[in-house]
């Protein structure tokens, strides 16, 4: 049994590493590439984000319901879902980095297709990964071990941004960037392929042991007798689910801002004379690494303090850290600013890495409450994504709209390979206003979002169904 658990952990970590290689790089670069290199018009950028938001709202619950309730070959097991979709996920990662045309309409269509194709595979594999986390074992100790082990694996994947930064010299050598993305996509596919061949849930293992079935004969058991709307109503009426979804929405809102705009903000607020491009590239690549170290460090704490208290501590940091940075330190200290961003992003990503634990508990509680033989894990995670993923579109839409009102569109059109000669440079006063707006966003975003999260998280009640104890 110990060997089986170790193999399951290794296979799950392989998926985490492959998935993280692509997602961290994609989220970090796609906004910057389309804004600064392809010079996408704001109207097309906003339209792409709206369509992306709509597709997000459709595909998550759709994939979730079919995953738990239908018997297509690709959905036969969680393992099969990873195996067959991995090569397409790697392909979707490459779409943004090879420009179709300089025509503004084609650039806009390029972003729309890239986002929707990416999110289709991201959702499909992401949901499956979350289900594997829940269904490999119901034991809380095993889940904590999985959380810690997957973060160790993610240390490897977190270097994708650093590799791309140094290979391309901060995107100055775009061809080198493109070549490196292809190599990363191939490596990611190989890692996910290994998971697809070797990762079984506890329910798969039960069929293999009791029925003497081979891995290829195992089939994920479906609920079958309930409609989509029945299962949806059962989930969304749960106060724990509502509390978690509100908290998670604003967590994703914050993370997306940091993913997409950290490099853009630092390039404007910190000059090359203060901190070199090489140092900044190392910093950008090191931030994901520090996030993983944080989760690995706090995982043992979860055995003594509940994840609810650990997550709540992060919201307190957001509020206090942002206020101190804005009112007492200011924007005149570049190294302190980078240190603040490092801590803020590490805490944001680290806390997000723990969110599988409460969602798994919600799925377990749903199975017990409605007397199921198998949890509707995909539906729980899918409904969460339905409400949370719009934040991925809304966050950059809001930030781009704010920054463009202060002249950011003029700056981005004067950068990249072919600067526009018709663009008037900003005056020194306008440039200072833009920098002040960026600094305010960096500091006050976490304050506002952290306050909302602290309130919503207070309604979450953790029930351990083995001991019948409630952690408040």
pLDDT of residue 248: 95
* Burial letters 366-403, b for 16+ CB under 10 A, else e: bbeeeeeeebbbbbbbbbbbbbbbbbbbbbbbebbeeb
Strand partners, 471: 462
Q: Which residues of the chain have pLDDT under 50?
A: 415-422, 465-470, 472
pLDDT of residue 79: 76
pLDDT of residue 166: 85
Q: What is the reported pTM?
A: 0.71
Domains of the chain: 2-471 (1.20.1250.20)
Q: How far is CA 213 from CA 3, 77, 169, in A?
A: 19, 13, 52
pLDDT of residue 243: 95
Which residues, other chains included, contact 45 with Cβ-Cβ below 8 Å and sequence gap of 6+? Answer: 34, 35, 108, 111, 397, 400
Tokens representing 52? 């992306």
* Burial environment of residue 301 by CB neighbours within 10 A (0 to 12, 13 to 18, 19 or more): middle
106-134 tens-digit pLDDT: 999 999 999 999 988 998 888 888 878 87
pLDDT of residue 306: 82
pLDDT of residue 90: 94
């Amino acid at each position: 049994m110990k060997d089986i658990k170790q193999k399951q952990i290794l296979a799950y970590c392989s998926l985490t590493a492959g998935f993280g290689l692509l997602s961290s790089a994609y989220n970090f670069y796609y906004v910057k590439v389309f804004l600064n290199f392809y010079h996408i018009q704001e109207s097309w950028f906003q339209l792409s984000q709206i369509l992306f938001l709509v597709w997000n709202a459709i595909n998550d619950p759709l994939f979730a319901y079919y995953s738990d309730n239908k018997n297509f070959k690709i959905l036969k097991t969680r393992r099969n879902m990873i195996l067959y979709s991995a090569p397409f996920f790697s392909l979707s990662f490459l779409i943004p980095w090879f420009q179709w045309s300089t025509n503004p309409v084609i650039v806009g269509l390029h972003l729309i297709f890239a986002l929707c194709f990416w999110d289709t595979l991201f959702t499909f594999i992401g949901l499956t990964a979350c289900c594997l986390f829940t269904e490999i074992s119901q034991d809380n100790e095993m889940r904590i071990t999985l959380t810690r082990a997957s973060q160790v694996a993610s240390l490897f994947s977190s270097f994708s941004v650093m590799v791309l930064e140094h290979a391309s010299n901060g995107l100055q050598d775009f061809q080198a960037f493109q070549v490196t993305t292809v190599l990363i996509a191939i490596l990611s596919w190989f890692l996910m392929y290994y998971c697809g061949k070797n990762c079984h849930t506890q329910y798969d293992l039960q069929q293999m042991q009791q029925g003497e079935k081979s891995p290829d004969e195992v089939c994920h058991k479906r609920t079958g007798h309930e409609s989509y709307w029945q299962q949806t109503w059962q989930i969304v009426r749960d106060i724990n689910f509502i509390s978690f979804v509100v908290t998670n929405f604003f967590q994703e809102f914050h993370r997306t801002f940091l993913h997409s705009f950290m490099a853009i903000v630092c390039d404007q607020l910190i000059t090359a004379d203060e901190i070199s491009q090489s140092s900044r590239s190392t910093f950008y690549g090191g931030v994901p690494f520090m996030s993983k170290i944080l989760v690995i460090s706090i995982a043992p704490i979860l055995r003594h303090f509940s994840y609810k208290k650990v997550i709540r501590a992060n919201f307190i940091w957001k509020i206090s850290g942002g206020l101190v940075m804005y009112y007492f330190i200011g924007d005149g200290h570049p190294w302190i600013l980078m240190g603040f961003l490092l801590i803020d992003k590490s805490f944001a990503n680290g806390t997000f890495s723990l969110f599988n634990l409460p969602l798994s508990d919600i799925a377990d509680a749903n199975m017990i409450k409605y007397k199921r033989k198998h949890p509707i894990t995909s539906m729980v995670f899918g409904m969460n994504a339905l409400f949370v993923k719009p934040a991925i579109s809304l966050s950059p839409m809001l930030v781009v709209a704010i920054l463009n009102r202060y002249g950011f569109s003029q700056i981005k059109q004067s950068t990249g390979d072919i600067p526009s000669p018709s663009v008037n440079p900003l005056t020194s006063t306008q440039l200072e206003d833009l920098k002040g707006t960026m600094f305010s966003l960096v500091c006050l975003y976490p304050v506002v979002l952290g306050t909302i999260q602290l309130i919503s998280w207070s309604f979450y009640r953790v029930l351990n169904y083995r001991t019948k104890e409630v952690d408040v």
